[in-house]
Amino acid sequence: MSLWQIIRRLLPFVRPYRSLVISTLLLTLVGSLAAQVNPFVLRYTVDTVQGLLNRGQGLAEGWHMLLWVSGLLLGKELINTGITFGQKYYGEKIRISVSGALAEAAVTKILGYELGFFSEGGNQTGKLQTRIDRGVESLMKLVQNFFIDILPLFANAIVALVVMFFANKWVGMVALAVLPVYFWLSYRQADRLNGTRRNLRSLREEKNHGLISIIDSIVVIKSFVREAYEGDKQLAVQDRLEEAQLSTRRTNFRYDGLKTFVEQIGVVAIIVLTAYLVLDGQISIGAIMFHILLFNNVSAPIRQLHRIYDEMNEALTYAEGFFAILDADDQTERPGPLRPAHLYGRFELRHVDFTYPSGTAALHDVSMTIEAGKTTALVGLSGAGKSTIINLLCEFYRPNGGTVLLDGQPLSEYDTHALRQQIGLVLQKNHIFKGTIEENIRYGNFAATQAEIEAAARQAYLHDQILDLPRGYQSDAQQLSGGQQQRIAIARLFLKNPPIIFLDEPTASLDAIATEQIKNSLDAIKQGRTVVIISHSLAQIVDSDCIYVMKKGEMVESGTHLQLYEKRGTYREIFDASARSLNIEKLAKTMADDGDEVLDTAL
Ligand code: ADP
């Protein structure tokens, strides 16, 4: 993206604040004109004092001039204070508002994108956040530079230069001659810093990431006694960071020194020239101070050039990544027209092929029917494509080939929100939001009353455990154990109370007692609803109305438990392996012995 393209993209975000931008610019222009008052006043003062001395007069004749000059300077300074405040405050207001609008635009866009967007390389959680942060930050600086700083800065320099030329063209030319050198040095400085800054930033991120990673993996580090190894790794990053920081400072100080030197050459040249012109009788003595102060007004704004150049470079680097987030319109979820108030939940997959955006082929020619009001189980080894089917049924992704029908209509014809309102999804690991237990359960239905929340928690066998916590429903949900967090997800499902339920390993992280409790609850909620369940636990699938067996992205067998068992195919293999892993024979023998004992006692 070129600078102009970026500015054009920024305009809609700045436009709502255009009156603020114009007022800020006006204020700054007035400020830059006010800055030229001092040289004039000083010239007048020096010349008047000189005149008084030449006439052999003193304080008695000059005091009213001094009073007048002090009043003028203080009055100007008073006005200047107001102007500076207004300029800074409104400038900051524009920056903050525009950056807020940019961040908001990114969040709104992201929320509307399909899941595929998030699995693309540059869009994974951390990277996306960095792209937004850096984009907003660099664009904010660009807004500051382009809409607030540049014009007044240059106006100030140009006004001062023009005044110098008008006062004396030779002095003006000396001032003008210094500028190209100054520009060139600023450009070199920004160019040199461009690389080091980026390096510095990535090292800072690496260091922060390293620290977070240490804290996250502290148990593993300690259990493998790898403290020294991790410490060395972090130290190496720290060393590189220090070196980069010093090198940045070195470059900065070197160029700052050079620029000050060039500026001083200009000052010396102006002093010599103006002194010569005074001695030659061409200008008054007051003009020496006049020109030096004006020259300061010329060079002061230009001192900031390297910063502006640097920040524009930064914007050029990061703006493209940021606007790409706003522009991924082809990945926006496009809701279809169907918004039925009630769904029966009969899904039909016809020759469905699906490959994830990352390129992993997950489903090949899958055809199956999920009957309304029945429980359908998906069975297969890990990676067989079971969760992918649920992803397609929720319309998180769209198939690459074939069709998915719901209640006889293509799934893509449904409004995604209306569809998902009627689907309850419980995963193996469910997200718990930062907040209280109550807030987390309420996520299932914002309109729920406290009594309904408690009823849902009871159904998920969570209520009693919550009451045991010191702060009850107001406890921090993220502090709960994995099993308790799972029950929150199930409570959310009860609260949402949808006609269609997808369960992807809902009890995988629960202990045996909890699994039994949750199974009972789920059995109760299953009645009359369409349920699709994925589970490695045979107990949860044997009484399903229909079982589909998946293998390497294909549907290889289907039927009831008994039909599939008799078939002696993939299902039977999985069943036998599960039975062996459970050591079913020994368990059965224990239970039989126990049964005999009970029988003996009874006899
Ligand atoms: P299962 O649920 O049967 O264990 P999945 O449906 O999760 O299997 O996965 C099927 C295949 O798709 C696997 O190869 C897996 O690595 C891949 N896969 C799953 N989710 C994603 C994703 N979000 N992005 C890319 N590939 C994925």
**Ligand 1, residues 387, 396, 504: which to mutate, most atoms within 8 A of Cβ?**
387
Same domain, 359 and 253: no
Ligand 1 atom closest to Cα of residue 388: 6
Judge whether 582 lies within some domain: no
Lowest mean pLDDT among 98-107, 357-366, 507-516, 558-567: 507-516
Same domain, 398 and 274: no
Measuring from atom 21 of ligand 1, which residue has the nearest CA? 356
Q: How many domains does the chain have?
A: 2
* 119 has pLDDT over 80: no
Judge whether 588 lies within some domain: no
Write the CB contacts of 299 (distance below 8 Å, at least 6 apart in sequence). Answer: 157, 178, 182, 263, 266
* The last residue of a domain, from among 284, 307, 331: 331
Judge whether 424 lies within some domain: yes
Q: What is the DSSP string of 255-323?
A: HHHHHHHHHHHHHHHHHHHHHHHHHTTSS-THHHHHHHHHHHHHHHHHTTHHHHHHHHHHHHHHHHHHH
Same domain, 403 and 312: no
Judge whether 594 lies within some domain: no
Same domain, 140 and 277: yes
pLDDT for res 596: 66
Ligand 1 center–CA 531 separation, angstroms? 21
Measuring from atom 24 of ligand 1, which residue has the nearest CA? 356
Q: In this predicted model, which residue has the larger pLDDT, 389 or 589?
A: 389
What letter would DSSP give residue 147? I
Torsion of CA 525, 529, 535, 537, to 10 degrees: 50
Tokens standing for residue 33:
């004109």
Identify the band that residue 121 occupies on the pLDDT scale cut at 50, 70 and 90. low
Lowest mean pLDDT among 173-182, 284-293, 584-593: 584-593
**Ligand 1, residues 120, 360, 552: which to mutate, most atoms within 8 A of Cβ?**
360
Same domain, 88 and 21: yes
* The last residue of a domain, from among 269, 296, 331: 331
Residue 27 to residue 152: CA distance in whole angstroms: 9
Ligand 1 atom closest to Cα of residue 378: 3
* 152 has pLDDT over 80: no
Judge whether 370 lies within some domain: yes
Ligand 1 atom closest to Cα of residue 360: 26
Are 269 and 174 in contact, with CB atoms under 8 Å apart? yes
Same domain, 280 and 423: no
Give percent above pLDDT 70 in the chain: 98
Element (H, E) at 421: helix 416-421
CATH code of the domain covering residue 501: 3.40.50.300
Same domain, 265 and 377: no
* 381 has pLDDT over 70: yes
State the pTM of this model: 0.77
| Closest by Cα among 73, 88, 85, 2 to 39 | 73
* 530 has pLDDT over 90: yes
Give percent above pLDDT 90 in the chain: 41
State the Cα angle at 18 between 17 and 19, rounded to 5°. 95
Residue 242 to residue 385: CA distance in whole angstroms: 48
Range of the domain at 146: 3-331
pLDDT for res 229: 95
Ligand 1 atom closest to Cα of residue 385: 6
Are 366 and 551 in contact, with CB atoms under 8 Å apart? no
Lowest mean pLDDT among 124-133, 219-228, 272-281, 485-494: 124-133
* 122 has pLDDT over 80: no
pLDDT for res 461: 87
CATH code of the domain covering residue 166: 1.20.1560.10
Same domain, 31 and 114: yes
* The last residue of a domain, from among 300, 331, 362: 331
**Ligand 1, residues 118, 363, 388, 549: which to mutate, most atoms within 8 A of Cβ?**
388
* 16 has pLDDT over 90: yes
pLDDT for res 495: 92
Write the CB contacts of 332 (distance below 8 Å, at least 6 apart in sequence). Answer: 109, 112, 113, 114
347-355/401-406 β-pairing: antiparallel
* 597 has pLDDT over 70: no
Backbone angles phi, psi at 158, to 5 degrees: -70, -45
* 136 has pLDDT over 90: yes
Same domain, 370 and 311: no
pLDDT for res 492: 92
Same domain, 298 and 372: no
Identify the band that residue 367 occupies on the pLDDT scale cut at 50, 70 and 90. very high
Same domain, 245 and 356: no
| Closest by Cα among 1, 7, 2 to 324 | 1
Write the CB contacts of 592 (distance below 8 Å, at least 6 apart in sequence). Answer: none
Ligand 1 atom closest to Cα of residue 358: 25
Measuring from atom 22 of ligand 1, which residue has the nearest CA? 356
Highest mean pLDDT among 2-6, 102-106, 213-217, 526-530: 102-106
Ligand 1 center–CA 420 separation, angstroms? 21
Judge whether 362 lies within some domain: yes
Cα distances from 75 to residues 29, 40, 68, 79, 412, in angstroms, run 18, 15, 10, 6, 71
pLDDT for res 110: 92
* 603 has pLDDT over 60: no
Judge whether 596 lies within some domain: no
* 239 has pLDDT over 80: yes
Same domain, 398 and 320: no
Ligand 1 center–CA 264 separation, angstroms? 67
Average pLDDT score, the chain: 88
Ligand 1 — pocket residues by CB below 6 A?
119, 356, 358, 360, 362, 380, 382-388
* 599 has pLDDT over 70: no
Lowest mean pLDDT among 100-104, 258-262, 512-516: 512-516
pLDDT for res 582: 77
Judge whether 599 lies within some domain: no
